[in-house]
Amino acid sequence: MVLMVARRSPKPKVGVQILLGLPKSADQQILSAKQISAMNLQKAKVVSKKSLTGSVFELQFKTFKDFNFKAGQFITIKINDNSSPVCFRTYSIASAPNNENLFTLCVKVIENGRGSNWLYSLKEEYEIEFLGPTGNFTFKTPPGKTALFIATGTGIAPFKSIVEDELPKGNTQNMHIIFGLRQENHIFYKEEFENFTKNYPNLKFNLMLSRPENESGGKRGRVTDILNNLPIDTQNTEAYICGLKEMITDITDILIKKGLKKEQIYTEKYN
């Protein structure tokens, strides 16, 4: 039997391509059932599900075998919705590595999106199959330097994993999270990050709302606005950007204009 692994988004998912060894330009690749079964798919069961906003939810999983990942990495899930062709979707892990084989994903439901809607339909105990952990969007900033984390939407996931890992370990480097959302009812993880800033003074957290209904939830503006006005010690700062492509391009341009070199900027694109 021949199955098709398709990428339905405008651009193929880079993570999936690398994992499957597909050419970057491929929109579709026919894979045999044998090829799919040869993939080193792992299994995990849903432990819990929690809504964070009207369209963003968290799923916690527990793997059956030892699961060692680095904060900032992602997994690629087989979307087992019985539709053809078989498809895979990639998600950053939003929790810190632990000894309990647990991990959490933070997913936005995309209108008519096959992967995100299927994940949203999962119930406790359901078993998923996935590839990974994979990815190099991990914390690399040497001691003494500042890490600037910039995300919009669920692009915050790898940064949650990284700060939840680094700070309790005793990392005292300056870390600054700039998190962009649209409006008050889209806010999630604010409390978690604010609590972290109370316990770890080396962490700074700014929530920006691009279209707020009032001024109570976060500062009005885009992540680009805060960055334009932010003094950056270009010799001693590294930036990590995660989210959709357009935002990553805009932020990268600003940081380069401010004097950061490309080697000081790490990116993770979701589309």
Ligand X SMILES: Cc1cc2nc3c(=O)[nH]c(=O)nc-3n(C[C@H](O)[C@H](O)[C@H](O)COP(=O)(O)OP(=O)(O)OC[C@H]3O[C@@H](n4cnc5c(N)ncnc54)[C@H](O)[C@@H]3O)c2cc1C
In whole angstroms, how close is the CB of 258 to ligand X at the nearest point?
A: 26
**C-beta of 55 vs 237, nearer to ligand X:** 55
In whole angstroms, how close is the CB of 135 to ligand X at the nearest point?
A: 6
In whole angstroms, how close is the CB of 138 to ligand X at the nearest point?
A: 12
**C-beta of 160 vs 176, nearer to ligand X:** 160
In whole angstroms, how close is the CB of 65 to ligand X at the nearest point?
A: 22
Q: Burial, 87: exposed, middle or buried (Cβ in 10 Å; 0-12, 13-18, 19+)?
A: buried
Q: Which residue's Cβ has the minimum distance to ligand X?
A: 113
Instruction: Look at residues 84, 83, 87, 81 and name the one whose alpha carbon lies nearest to residue 12.
Output: 87
3-state class (DSSP) for residue 188: coil
**C-beta of 26 vs 236, nearer to ligand X:** 26
Question: What is the residue type of 215?
Answer: E
**C-beta of 188 vs 270, nearer to ligand X:** 270
Q: What is the DSSP letter of 44?
A: E
Q: Rounded CA gap, 253 and 239, in Å?
A: 12
Q: Rounded CA gap, 174 and 200, in Å?
A: 10
Judged by the rule CB under 6 A, the positions of this chain that interact with ligand X are 8-10, 13-15, 74, 89-92, 105-108, 110, 113-116, 153-154, 157, 244, 268, 270-271
**C-beta of 63 vs 90, nearer to ligand X:** 90
Instruction: Look at residues 86, 4, 3, 95 and name the one whose alpha carbon lies nearest to residue 47.
Output: 95
In whole angstroms, how close is the CB of 215 to ligand X at the nearest point?
A: 25
Q: Are 32 and 61 in contact (CB under 8 A)?
A: no
